[in-house]
Structure 1
Amino acid sequence: MMHKTSMDLNLAKLTQCAPETVQAQSVAEVMLALGSNYQAEKYLPLAREMLATLGEIQLSTAFQNPDFTATTQLLKPDYTNQCVHLALTTPISLQQLQHTFKMLEGNCNRCRQAEANQVRLVTMDIDILLIKLAEKENSLSKESISESTSNWIVMADRYPFKAHENAGIDELVDVSY
C-alpha cells in the first residue's frame, strides 16, 4: 500500500531558498512537477519509470492544462502535468539531483533549442518544487543537529506554485496513513 507523506503544507510558513544556496546540501526527498506538451502518453510513464530507480515514488493525478504562454497569435499544445513525491534511496546533493533530472529529460529526447516564433515541444520537463534535506547527525549526541533540517524547503524560483502544482502537492500530502 502506498502511504502518503506527511508534512506541514502551510507553504507560506515553509522556508524558501534559492536553489543556488542549497546546492551542496544532501537531499532525502523531493516534490517534483513533471510536464510534457508532446507525446505525454509516452514520456510521462518513461520519466516515472526512471524516477522510480532513484527511490520510492508517489504520484498525483495527471492534469491537462493549457500552456499559459500561448496567445491567440501563437497557439501552443496543452501540457500534461503531474506531481511526484520521491523519497530517495540514497540522499544526494541538490546539485547532483538537478544534474540527474537534466539527464532524465535528455533520455526523454528533450530538446532545449527552438527557433524564434516556433512552438516549443517539450517531451519532458522535471522541476523541483520542494526539497527535504537529509537529517544530519551530531557525532557526539547522535541526535539531529536541528529540528529544521527535517523541514521541507520551498524552491524560491518556483514559488508561488501554479494551480496544478498546488493541487498535485495537496493530493500527495492529503492523508497520512
Structure 2
Amino acid sequence: MHKDIDQASLDLALQLTLAKLKRQSSEQLQMQTVTAVLLALGSNHDSEQHLMTVGKNLAELGDIKLSSALQNPDFTASLQQAKPDYINQCVYLILSLPMSLYKLQQLFKQLEDDCNRCRQHPASAIRQVTMDIDILLVQIENDADDWIVVLDRYPFKAHERAGIEELAVVSL
C-alpha cells in the first residue's frame, strides 16, 4: 500500500510540474534552435528491431537516455477488430549540434521512412506502424533550464508520462 501512495504522490508531482511548464504549438517552435528533446517512440510491427535501429540513429545525434519499453494495446482496437499492441518508449536526447525544430522534425520523419513507415493505409486494413516518433518536450537554446511542452502532444498518454517520470527529465 505504501508503494501505491508513493506512486500517487509522484504522479501528482509530475502533473503539477507539467502544468507549470510553458506550452507552445510545434508551429510556434518551428524556427527555434533546440538543444534537447524528449521523444515518444511507438511501433506495432517488428517493434524490437525498429526501436533498436532508431535508438542507434538517435545516438548519432547526441547523448541519449532510453526509458523502458512498454507494451500497450492499440486504443482504436475493438472486439470486432483486434489490432496489434504497440511497444512504446521515451527517449531523452541532448543534441550534439543544436538545430531548428523544423530540421529535427524532418530528420525524425526520415528515420520513420527508413523503417518503411507507411503513412497511407486502406480504410479496411489493420494499420501497421513500423515507427512513430513524436516530440513531447523541447529545450531551446536561450532557455536551456526550462522545458517547453509541445502543445500538440499534451495531455500526455499514460505511457508517455511513465517515460518522462522514468527519465527524470522534468525535475519534480
Aligned match of 2:122: 115
| Displacement of 1:150 | 3.2
Distance 2:169 2:139 in 1: 17
Q: Is the 8 A contact 1:134 1:150 kept in 2?
A: no
User: How far 1:11 sits from its partner (Å)?
Assistant: 0.3
The percent identity for this pair of structures is 57
2:167 is equivalent to residue 172 of structure 1: yes
The residue that corresponds to 2:54 in the other structure is 47
Partners of 2:144 and 2:139 lie apart in 1 by: 8
The amino acid that maps onto 2:41 is: L
Q: Secondary structure at the match of 1:34?
A: strand
**Aligned mates of 1:92, 1:162 — CA distance in 2:** 27
Select which of 137, 141, 159 maps to 1:134: 141
Deviation for aligned residue 1:149? 5.5
Partner residue in 1 for 2:90: 83
Q: Which residue of 2 aligns with 1:106?
A: 113
- Report the 3-state secondary structure (helix = DSSP H, G, I; strand = E; otherwise coil) of the residue aligned with 1:121: coil
Residues 63, 81 of structure 1: 8 Å contact kept: yes
Match of 1:152 in 2: 147
Q: Report the counterpart of residue 35 of structure 1 in structure 2.
A: 42
* Alpha-carbon distance between aligned partners in 1 of 2:22 and 2:149, rounded to the nearest angstrom: 6
Q: How many residues align?
A: 157
Aligned-residue offset at 1:73 = 1.7
1:107 maps to amino acid: D
Q: Matches of 2:144 and 2:63 in 1, distance apart?
A: 21
Q: Which runs of 4+ in 1 moved over 2 A?
A: none
| Residue 162 of structure 1: aligned partner | 157
Q: Residue type of the partner of 2:151?
A: A
The runs of 5 or more residues in structure 2 that have no matched partner are: 1-12
CA RMSD of superposed structures (Å):
1.7
Tell me if the contact between 1:83 and 1:165 (Cα under 8 Å) persists in the aligned partners: yes
| TM-score scaled by length of structure 1 | 0.85
Aligned residue number for residue 72 of structure 1: 79
Q: CA deviation at 1:74?
A: 1.7
Q: State the distance in 2 between where 1:68 and 1:165 align.
A: 14
Is the partner of 1:21 in helix, strand or coil?
Answer: helix
More helix by share: 2
Length-normalised TM-score, structure 2: 0.87
Residue type of the alignment partner of 1:96: K
